[in-house]
Structure formats: structure tokens, C-alpha cells
Chain A
Amino acid sequence: MSDSIEKKPAKIVLRELQNKIAEEAWEAKKRGEKVGWCASNFPQEITTAMGIPVVYPENMGAAVGAKGGGQRMCEYAEGMGYSGDLCSYSRINFAYADLKKCEEMEIPFPDFLLCCNNICNCMIKWYENLALEMNIPLLLIDIPHLDERTCDEDRIRYIRAQFDDCIRQLEEITGKKMDLEKLKSVMEVSQRSSRAWLRAVGYMASTPSPFSGFDIFNNMAVANVGRGTIEAAEAFEQLADEYEALAAKGESTFKGEEKYRILFEGIACWAHLKYTYKALQTRGINLTATIYGPAFSFLYGNLDELMAAYAYVPNSNCFERELELRVNDALKNKVDGAIFHMNRSCKHWSGNLYEMERRFREQTGLPTIVFDGDQSDPRCFSEAQYETRVEALVEIMEENKKKEVKA
């Protein structure tokens, strides 16, 4: 590898990698290859190993939200008859599917759809509608929500059968064949990426954390969808190395003094990302814990474990395990408080959020706040509400610090 590439910060490498993945999908489309729209937590091992280009409407929903197009696209979908209560990623996607253009971001149109409901069931309804509107095949891998701490044998068998089914159908649709050796190597590379990702986010436990936690929201896209490639593995290893070096020196990319450390629960408010970030950063609050840290590690040794890994994605676990993941992450990364995003778009995430907040507070003794918002629809967020709650949180965290000093 040449020196000039080595010198690029991992953050840039990751961004370029994300653009490259998108670019490759466009080029494949131009070449006449079949391209898919894919749910973010669909097993990427399948498509990566088969060399099938896929793009992610959820990522587009986030990007459009962040770039200010959320309201326009959501309103368009509402004009189509979609309720304003529906997931804003899906509304943005329905609008794009109908308009076939979007100034903030575009993705190539699909020849097939890959759906997986481990993150939510609304994904299924969303993709059903797309399949009908575009008259293209829909492949679903159903991963039933866990009601016990571990993924049982019945689930693994069921997921595995769908996995095999899906490969067979994809072979038919795309004309590409699954090579099991390739799958094995993709699984290995994915492990390498996951371990590097875990090592990178693990440095959030350092004081100060070597990076601004909001960066995770940007980096996780590649962690999620591109982790089966060598480039991603190398980029995450580089990221981890960079964080390690910063942590060793006690430095950080976080601007200003890290006075408080918090857990941020939920998807970012993309449409108000800057505001929600600034309101914290100017008060010396750094995000040092989020479920996206530990949860995007897909560690497995074999195919059955791979199946189980996809049942352990955020929010697919039983509540007690979900809670434990947050509490452990918060304790390990020494947070002073937590912010819970009551995300209007996400009924799944929001349905247990109050109980999650309560139990989190009980188990950690830390102050918490809940604010109303939405992942990509800017209309469900109030700056005044957010600001007031953050201020109150700071006041409590400050009091707690004083007590600590006295003690």
C-alpha cells in the first residue's frame, strides 16, 4: 500500500469507502447487473460473497434527513396517502420510489428487494409495498424477535433455511452463483472488521474518550453494510489504531474539554444532527456510549452462529438483554448520565423506552432524560424541549460531580 493512502485519516477512508460502495452499485446498474435494495441488518455476508451490489434505503433516509430533505420527502409521501405516523425512512423511500429523484441523495433503482425484520417489522410492510409498486421480487429473511436471552435451535434452523432459500433465489434472479469458499472468506473478513470495530469503540472507555461519540453515527454505516470487505477491515483497524494512539496520549478529537460523558439511546435526529450535537458539545458533554458500539459486532465461528448473530442485533433481543447491553456499556464507559431519544418513527424502539429509562436509572443510579424527536422527519422535534432537558441533565450531573469530589 502506498504511503499517501496510509496518511489519510481513517474517517476519510471510511467516507470514501462508503462512496465507493455506492458508486459501485451505480456502475453495476449501468452495466446491466441486477441491483437490490436491502434492509440494513440483512445478512451482508450473502450479497458480499455473491458479489451482488445492494444499496440501503435506510442509509438514504438518514442522509436525506441530514441534508435537509426529510420534510419535503415525507410530505410528498403523505400526499400519496401514507400516514405521517409512519417511519420517516420509509416515507422518504416511498417518495423517492415515486418521484424517481431526490436532490439530496439518489440510489440506483432495484431489480429485487432483500428484507430482514430483525430491526423491526415495519420493514416488512415497507418492502411489501415497494415490491408491489415496482413489481419486483421480494426476499424476506424473517428473524423472530427473541423472547429468551439466547437464540434457540428452532430459530437457528428457521433462519438457516431462509438463508439457503434466499441464496437459491438470488442465484436465479441475478445469475450469480454462491461460492461457499468465498462465503467462508467473507465471514472471516467480517469477523476481522467486527473485531476492529469493537476495539475502536472500546476506546470510548478511556478518559477522555479519544473521539467525539457522534462520529459513530457516521462510521457505523460502513461497519454495518461493508464489513465483509478487506478495505473495510483495514479501515476499521486503522481507526482503532488512531484511537489507540490518541488515548495513549490522553488526547481526543472531541472539541473542548470532556466534562461529562453520556449514553445516547436511539437513532440520531438526522435532521437536527448539528443542533443536537452542538447543544451537548458546547456544554462539554461527549457521547461515550451507544448501543451502536457493542451491537454492531457480529461475532460468530460458523454458519449457525452467524444466524444467531443476526438475531442479536439491537432491539431484536429480549428486553432484559437489551437493558443489560446498555447498562454494561454505560458502566464500562463511565458515563455520567443518559439521553433517550423517543423516536416518533420507531415504534419498536420507543415501545419500551420509558421502561428502559426507568430501569437504566435504577440500575446505574445515573440521571436520565427523554426527549421527543424523529430520525429523519424534522417536524417532530423541538429545540426548546431538547435544550431545557439537556440543561437539567447538566445541572444534575454537575451536582453529582460535586458530591463525588466531597466524598
Chain B
Amino acid sequence: MADVYTMGIDIGSTASKCLILKNGTDISGYAVIGAGTGTSGPKRSVEQALSNAGITINEISGITATGYGRNTFSEADWIVSELSCHAIGIHAVFPDVRTLIDIGGQDAKAIRVSTTGKLENFVMNDKCAAGTGRFLDVMARVLELDVSELAERDAMAENVVNISSTCTVFAESEVISQLSNNVNICDLVAGIHRSVAVRTAGLAKRLGIVEPVAMSGGVALNSGAARALERELGIPVRIPPLPQINGAYGAAIYAWEHRKQER
């Protein structure tokens, strides 16, 4: 029997993620492009994922689009919310996980996953950048660091600085004044991570935490932020091997399952 390929594309506000799945289980290729909806990002992520998988678009039997820009992707066979896709994606990696925390560029969400991998309940952040990826971007810029350096700095922190402001503008000035007091940058980075973790943990508590807990989204790549979240929740948090493409993964699985049903 010929292999069946399905595609999931998660078009976010700051990044486009595409994943190609073979026979509903094997990841043949994926791509993450740091450009989101309204840019060439989605198209490029598709091209790159196809080339990584070594196949052409004609070989794809079904596409699910998800994420903030899902409605702009005209090639999609199905359009599904990222909350459902995240639930499906994490269930495939960790079938026992019941709570997923996803921190994206502008949204943070806490998702309850049913024992069968369905979206059961969720809460999302209010309209404020605190506790999202955008917040970390702003703070990294203030510290003249690349976002990718944050985890490394966090690991070297000795005394976590308390960054209390919730407003991004105020937090920025708080960080700047700490910097001018010659506070250790590593301690500041850890403080920033703690600030994000506190906000996100609050979100998860509003949902009600059912263990085990996992974390996805680009911020999960940052081990400093992930550790801070564990500390705030007081329980271990699992990270899938590819946290940033969890939504795209779920979308590809969704496409596979719906193609299968049609047959």
C-alpha cells in the first residue's frame, strides 16, 4: 500500500510551522519559519517542509490549517483551531498528559486534554503581552541578548531578581533600572522568566491543573522559562521533543484521521 502523507500548518502571529506526516505516525519533514500570518512565512514553511520530506505537494492527501492565520491558507482541506490541534498533538507524544500550557508569540493558553486526546476545556490570556513570547522578545532586546541566549543565562543565575510589573512598558523600565544598578544579567533573565511563569501558572490555575502537565510553543524551547514554570506550579512539566510544532503536528494528525474516515 502506498504511503499516505498529510500536512499540518500552524500559522502563528510571529512564526509559521509546517509538518508532514507519513501514515499518521511518522514525521517526514517539518519547518519553522520566523514569519507569521500575512508574510511569505506560511508559503516558505510549506516549501521547506516538503523539501525536507523529499516529496511534492501533489503527494499530500490532506492539509489542515490552524493558528492565528488559519483562514488565510486557501489550500487547506480543514480549518481547525490551534487549541484542538495542540490537544491532539500533545496526546500523540504524551498520551497521558491532561494539561497543556502553550506559550506562543501573542497568546498564552492552558488546555485541558481529555484521556482520548480531545480538547476538553481551555483558558487564554487577557489582552496583555505579559506572559507571552512577545514579552520575552521585548525583554531580550532591552538586555541586548538574543532570545536564544536566555536559557543559557538563566542557568547561570544565582539570585533571581523579582520583576513585578505586569505591564510590558513598566517591566521594561524595571529591568532597565535594575541594569543601571549593575544587577547581574543572568539574575535578571531568571527574574523575567519567573514573571512569565507566574502569569502562565495563574492561567493554568484558572483552568485547574490536572497532572501530568506538558508545555508547548516556542517559549518551551527556552529551558529557563520551562524550569521557572515548573517551579511556579511545583510539579514537573514535560516538554515534547518539538514543542514549537506541536500545533502543526496535531493538525497533520487531524488531516490523517479525517482522510482515513473518508475512505
Contacts and interface: CB of A to CB of B under 8 A. Distances in A.
A84 interface: yes
Nearest to B232: A75
A78 interface: yes
A81 B206 CA distance: 5
Interface in A353-400: 372, 378-385
A384 B173 contact: yes
Could you tell me the dominant secondary structure of chain B's interface residues? helix
Contact of A380 (B126, B170, B205): B170
Contacts of A372: 170
Contacts of A80: 205-206
A380 B173 CA distance: 12
A380 B177 contact: no
Most central of B126, B167, B202, B206 by chain A CB within 10 Å: B202
Q: Which size class do B's interface residues fall under?
A: 10 to 19
B121 interface: no
B169 to A, nearest CB: 8
A385 B173 contact: yes
A52 B168 CA distance: 46
B174 interface: yes
Contacts of A379: 164-167, 170
Contact of B177 (A78, A83, A383): A383
A276 interface: no
B101 interface: no
B215 interface: no
Given A75-B202, A84-B126, A384 B166 contact: no
B190 interface: no
B202 A382 contact: no
Contact of B206 (A71, A78, A381, A385): A78
B198 interface: yes
B76 interface: no
A182 B201 CA distance: 52
Contacts of A75: 198, 202
Given A75-B202, A78-B206, A380 B166 contact: yes
A384 B206 contact: no
Contact of A378 (B164, B201, B205, B206): B164
Contact of A79 (B164, B165, B205): B205
A379 B170 CA distance: 8
Contacts of B201: 79
B176 interface: yes
A44 B126 CA distance: 39
Contact of B174 (A79, A84, A382): A382
A53 B205 CA distance: 35
B88 to A, nearest CB: 27
Contacts of B126: 83-84
A342 to B, nearest CB: 13
A71 B205 contact: no
Nearest to A70: B164
A79 B233 CA distance: 11
A384 B202 contact: no
Contacts of B166: 84, 379-380
Contact of A383 (B167, B174, B198, B202): B174
A63 to B, nearest CB: 18
Contacts of A71: 164
Contact of B165 (A78, A81, A83, A382): A382
Interface in A73-123: 75, 78-81, 83-84
A79 B202 CA distance: 4
B198 to A, nearest CB: 6
A372 B169 CA distance: 12
Interface in B138-196: 164-167, 169-170, 173-174, 176-177
Given A71-B164, A78-B206, A83-B126, A382 B170 contact: yes
Nearest to A383: B177
Interface in B176-234: 176-177, 198, 201-202, 205-206
A385 B173 CA distance: 8
A296 B213 CA distance: 52
A83 B174 CA distance: 23
Contact of B170 (A78, A81, A83, A385): A385
B165 to A, nearest CB: 5
Contacts of A79: 201-202, 205-206
- Nearest 7 A-B pairs (CB), nearest first? A79-B205, A384-B173, A382-B170, A379-B166, A78-B202, A378-B164, A379-B164
25 contacts: A75-B198, A75-B202, A78-B206, A79-B202, A79-B206, A80-B205, A80-B206, A84-B126, A84-B166, A372-B170, A379-B164, A379-B166, A379-B167, A379-B170, A380-B170, A381-B165, A381-B170, A382-B165, A382-B170, A383-B173, A383-B174, A383-B177, A384-B174, A384-B176, A385-B170
Interface of B: 126, 164-167, 169-170, 173-174, 176-177, 198, 201-202, 205-206
